[in-house]
A and B are shown apart, each in its own frame.
Chain A
Amino acid sequence: MKAKHQRLILALVALAALIGAGLLAASALKDEAAYFYAPGDVKAKGVEPGKAIRLGGMVVKGSLKRAADGVTMSFDVTDGKATVPATFSGIAPDLFKEGSGVVAEGSFDTKGTFIATNLLAKHDERYMPRELEGMSYNETTRELKVEK
């Protein structure tokens, strides 16, 4: 066996070991590296009241209510598996609205309501022009429909 081939095998073995180690580390990190808890995770694992966490999901349509003081709002966060009520007082980001993603920092109170101290809007992977918002395209009839 030539030295060249020895080096190639050594390099490939080292690379395979490295990738294996990386994947193992990444899968071990699965929960710790998560940026937020989804309502489903909260329901499945349980988060004790008062523990500072981030809660992420969609703001349920029709659930957003603003209090009379103008800065306090309450809304429901869902991930399709569970829904959690949340409240926030302060200035929300511009993209925060019903039906779109949110990541809230804060903690649960004893009644199971999430008290958010900070709100971040989560953007999803869809990008489209304003004209297409609320429209759906039927591929068989080739018709654009306005939903609202």
Chain B
Amino acid sequence: MPYWPCRARAAKDAALMHRFANPARFLKIARPLTGWLFWSGLVLLLAGCACGLFLTPADYLQGQTVRILYIHVPTAWLGMAGWTGIAVSALMQLVWRHPLAAVAGRAIAAPGALFTAICLATGSIWGRPTWGTWWEWDGRMTSMLVLLFLYLGYIALANASARQGAGQGGVSNVTAIFGLVGAINIPIINRSVVWWNSLHQGPSITLRGSSIDMALLWPLGLTLLGFSLWFGAIVLMRMRAILAQNKVEARMQRLARG
């Protein structure tokens, strides 16, 4: 008989996953975690922005406009990470019928769309002095704009399915499938500057190191971590709000029945 050590491990992981299917257990952890993520994220991102504005030197070519990088890069990363989160929760919803996964997908959508929009706006503001144009239809910019439209479509679908009463504050299966299908855009955004000639420069930070000088790079670490923690706090807040809304609705229905 073959020995499967991973079997037991998988069962353990599944058990861990389903432990948090219970909203009460999830809330017990989410409630204190929200505050920690929110405040530590806010402190880090404000510190990172301040350092990026006042402590780093100007770029040799771009001058002062380089500083927009400290906002642009974290928002781009979170726009893409947000959709990856939507895709993972969609998979958990479709395969394991995890009740919190659907709630998480809905909770991620709005901040994900907001961060994508900020990324596009800051990129445009940077592009005008650097490239000499607000907008060009190159691979990176177009695929990022598609991501924003995917978010808006997901939000519309999620709202429509909630009105129909599908799921408890979550999203319908169709919405989850949309989230999964949309994930194909994430590797396309990432590779767009490598596959195609583009106006947007190639990746500065790769596995082989960074072509951003250390003197300019270090505040980016602060804002990346800060924005990410903050994003996590926003998602937890929205998940808690959705769960509270469920509770209110359930109580109202019980009252209505008398």
In the complex the two chains form, is B139's CB within 8 Å of A129's CB? no
Residue among B132, B198, B204 with max Cβ neighbours from chain A (10 Å): B132
CB-contacts of B161-199 with A (<8 A):
180-181, 184, 187-188, 191, 195-199
| A126 in contact with B95 given A15-B180, A132-B60 (CB within 8 Å) | no
Give complex CA distance A35, B129 in Å.
20
CB distance from B130 to the nearest CB of A (A): 5
Decide yes or no whether A144 CB sits under 8 A from chain B: no
Report which of B132, B195, B211 forms a contact with A119, defined as CB distance below 8 A: B132
Cα distance A103–B203 in the bound complex, in angstroms: 18
Given known contacts A35-B136, A123-B201, A131-B57, is B196 in contact with A7 (CB within 8 Å)?
Answer: no
The answer to whether B204 touches A11 (Cβ under 8 A) is no
Q: A129 touches which one: B188, B195, B216 (CB < 8 A)?
A: B216
Instruction: Indicate if the CB atoms of A130 and B139 lie closer than 8 Å.
Output: no
**Interface assignment of A50: CB less than 8 Å from any CB of chain B:** no
B contact residues around A15 at 8 Å (CB): 91, 180
In the complex, how many residues of chain A place their beta carbon closer than 8 angstroms to a beta carbon of chain B? 43
User: How many Å from the CB of A123 to the closest CB on chain B?
Assistant: 5
Instruction: Decide yes or no whether A18 CB sits under 8 A from chain B.
Output: yes
Scoring B59, B91, B131, B133 by chain A CB atoms within 10 A of each residue's CB, the highest score goes to: B131
Residue A143 at the chain B interface, CB threshold 8 Å: no
Tell me whether A33 and B95 are in contact in the complex, defined as CB-CB below 8 angstroms, given that A95-B130, A127-B212, A133-B60 are known contacts: no
Q: Does B234 contact A (CB under 8 A)?
A: no
Taking the closest CB of chain A, its distance from the CB of B190, in whole angstroms, is: 11
A-B contacts at CB below 8 angstroms, number: 127
B213 touches A128 (CB 8 A): yes
Cβ-defined contact, B197 with A128, below 8 A: no
Binds A, one of B61-69, B148-156, B221-229: B61-69
User: B201: nearest residue on chain A (CB-CB)?
Assistant: A125
Q: Which residue of B lies closest to A103 (CB)?
A: B199
Contact in complex: B133, A128 (CB < 8 Å): no
- Which chain A residues lie closer than 8 Å to B59 at the CB level? 127-130
Q: Are B136 and A122 in contact (CB under 8 A)?
A: no
- A:27-86 near B, CB below 8 Å: 27, 29-30, 33-38, 56
Q: A131 — nearest CB in chain B belongs to which residue?
A: B57
Kindly state the separation between the CA atoms of A127 and B64 in the bound complex, as whole angstroms: 12
Interface of A is mostly: mixed
Is the beta-carbon distance between A126 and B130 smaller than 8 angstroms?
Answer: no
Residues of A within 8 A of B58 (CB): 129-130
| Set of chain B residues within 8 Å of A123, measured between Cβ atoms | 61-62, 130-131, 201
A107, chain B: closest CB distance, angstroms: 17
Contacts A11-B91, A124-B201, A127-B211 given: A35-B60 contact, CB under 8 Å? no
Q: How far is the CA of A17 from the CA of B130 in the complex (A)?
A: 40
Give the distance in Å from the alpha carbon of A109 to the alpha carbon of B60 in the complex: 36
B96 at the interface (CB under 8 A from A): yes
Asked whether, in the complex, the Cβ of A125 is within 8 Å of the Cβ of B136, the reply is: no
Bound-state CA distance A100–B132 (Å) is 14
For the complex, give the distance between the alpha carbons of A96 and B132 in Å: 9
In the assembled complex, which residues on chain B have CB atoms less than 8 Å from the CB atom of A121? 130-132
CB-defined A-B contacts under 8 Å, sample of 13: A8-B95, A19-B184, A26-B188, A27-B195, A34-B139, A35-B197, A95-B62, A120-B133, A122-B131, A126-B212, A127-B62, A127-B66, A129-B58
Name 16 extra pairs, CB < 8 A, besides A124-B202, A128-B215: A27-B195, A30-B196, A34-B197, A93-B130, A100-B61, A121-B132, A124-B201, A125-B201, A125-B202, A125-B211, A125-B212, A129-B57, A129-B58, A130-B59, A130-B60, A132-B60
